[in-house]
Chains A and B, each alone.
Chain A
Amino acid sequence: MVDVVVIGAGVTGCAIARELAKYEYKVTVLERASDVCEGTSKANSGIVHAGYDAHPGTLKAKLNVEGNRMMEALSEELDFPFKRNGSLVLCFDDEDRPKLQKLYEQGLENGVKELRIIEKDELKQLEPNISDNAVAALYAPAGGIVCPFGLTVALAENAAVNGVDFRLNTEVQNIEKTNGGYRVATNHGVLESRVVINAAGVYADRFHNMVSEEKIHIIPRKGEYCLMDKKVGGFVSRTVFQLPTIYGKGVLVTPTVHGNLLAGPTAVDVEDCEAVNTTREGLDDVLKRAALSVSHFPAGQVITSFAGLRAHEEKGDFIIGQPEDAPGFFDAAGIESPGLTCAPALGRYLAKQILEYLPAQAKKDFIGTRKGIPSMALAGPEERAKLIEENPLYANVVCRCELVTEGEIMDAIHRPLGATTLDGVKRRTRAGMGRCQAGFCSPKTVEILARELDRDMAEISKNDPGSEFLTGYDKDDIEE
């Protein structure tokens, strides 16, 4: 019997788990995939929204502004990359100015600081590459960019270090109400828990509807992205949005916190909760619409594209808290944009509710800070020399494009909730995220993973079981 089961180790589940780890709870996180951060959390814009976009009075609005405010301090506590680079929402037509004004007023009502509408000349001064078609913009200096994997992994590691039990490759199959709480049946056995937190992303309706008669309906909304080479990472300094459409915030063009340029997302409702494939139409759409925001959009510098599914709940807002007919079952459902921004605030918000439901003492020995993996690429000469002196493996370059060394990959594998797959190494170290897209480093990373995990190379996978790279030895299939 545990106190809390969290379903889903995305940014939401990990944020909640980390908050609960501050208290004397026995917490278990159940994650279907082979690693944390394998769902929506790994395939999004990485934006820390300023908060003008959400409707006032909604949970989205409240948690957005709070999360935005919390992000800086959290990034220092937990050592993940975050930058408050500012956002712009472009208006291309004087007729649309009322829409811009509305966003501005919404922002004020939501408590967004330093928001203002700027005109074309100031806009061009801020961002020389902005399209000449933009007539005005909403400028939100509070907007930021964050590494979504960095944030999620940091929350997860810190939760784990403080006693949270993460069970990966564990899929929840059924939830039943019991006298003491809930019985959660998984593909690796049954767990009894007083409290269940539903942070299951695109699957959240499945679990909610197992315990509550007030059904919810999650519509997976696919967003496709194109990522451009770091060479053009400075094309814009701020995150550039376009005025919203009925489908969402429109296509954005933004630097990433790592120095690439990112364009996207589209917004297409799908049925398959695993439909993370990109499409010709989607990718073309991204590039076409991105070109509306900036002149000479560098479409030729694409190094990769990807797609993520956002969990859009039919009714439009986050669903957070207990359904009336399922006490002790806490939803954190429908977490689409601005879910990433909200995560730290959502964690705190839900933790408060759980403390009310099931009181617990605060831990005296809670370890509140975390040191991330040092990056040779970002380190200055003295830090580099120091890292190498402590561990010569920091001088052995594995990923040449992103300058990631064997020392960093070893750290990624051996730290709490360490990487066991290529994607896990990639998300923790950036190895494989560069312009050659792991063409050079993946055989080396596979070798290191096999060596460190004491497995054969053929057992090393890209992510989930079934995604192993090697199918055998040479001539295995030559008949005698």
Chain B
Amino acid sequence: MDGGRSGKSVEKKEFVCIGCPLGCNITVETEGAEIKTITGNTCPRGADYVTKELTDPRRIVTSLVRVAGGELPVVSVKTASDIPKGKIRECIKILKNIELQAPVRMGDVVAENVCGSGIDVIATRTVEKE
């Protein structure tokens, strides 16, 4: 940990890139919120990946929501696109408190703008009435 001219410390973070089966081990040096160096990647996708992971890590969340009166007791759902990684827990809590009524159609919006992410949670299968 280097003192640095600005008074901030330099941190090293290790990543394994998930872009392709190579799985390059990438080392990122950051100073505060600033990325100083990226080493270990063998293509630009690696740099993009770690940048995203550091600045705005996002994930698609797939889970289940309870269904009443359906042929199945739960319906599988997903966030329509990736949401901030830090909101996953909250998203799950919201899903816990939802109970849908059958029928549920694939694509139905189950939770709008979940956790203020701007992304909806949608059903990924159809559950007919029992």
Contacts and interface: CB of A to CB of B under 8 A. Distances in A.
B93 A474 contact: no
B124 to A, nearest CB: 15
Contacts of A479: 93
Interface in B43-97: 64, 74, 92-93, 95-96
B93 A478 contact: yes
Q: Interface size class for chain B? A: under 10
Contacts of A480: 93, 96
Interface in B81-130: 92-93, 95-96
A280 interface: no
A474 B74 CA distance: 9
B130 to A, nearest CB: 14
Interface in A441-480: 474-475, 478-480
A474 B95 CA distance: 11
A88 B92 CA distance: 63
Contacts of A475: 92, 95-96
Interface residues of A, number: 5
A247 to B, nearest CB: 52
Interface centre among B74, B95, B96 (most CB of A within 10 A): B96
Contacts of A474: 64, 74
B119 to A, nearest CB: 20
A480 B29 CA distance: 37
Interface centre among A475, A478, A480 (most CB of B within 10 A): A475
Nearest to B95: A475
Contacts of B96: 475, 478, 480
Contacts of B64: 474
A480 B93 CA distance: 6
Nearest to B96: A475
B103 to A, nearest CB: 20
A475 B99 CA distance: 13
Contacts of A478: 92-93, 96
Nearest to A479: B93
Contacts of B74: 474
Nearest to A473: B66
Nearest to B92: A478
Nearest to B97: A480
B91 to A, nearest CB: 11
Contacts of B95: 475
A480 to B, nearest CB: 6
10 contacts: A474-B64, A474-B74, A475-B95, A475-B96, A478-B92, A478-B93, A478-B96, A479-B93, A480-B93, A480-B96
Q: Which 8 A-B pairs have the closest CB atoms?
A: A475-B96, A478-B96, A474-B64, A478-B92, A478-B93, A480-B93, A474-B74, A475-B92
Given A478-B96, A479-B93, 8 more contacts: A474-B64, A474-B74, A475-B92, A475-B95, A475-B96, A478-B92, A478-B93, A480-B96
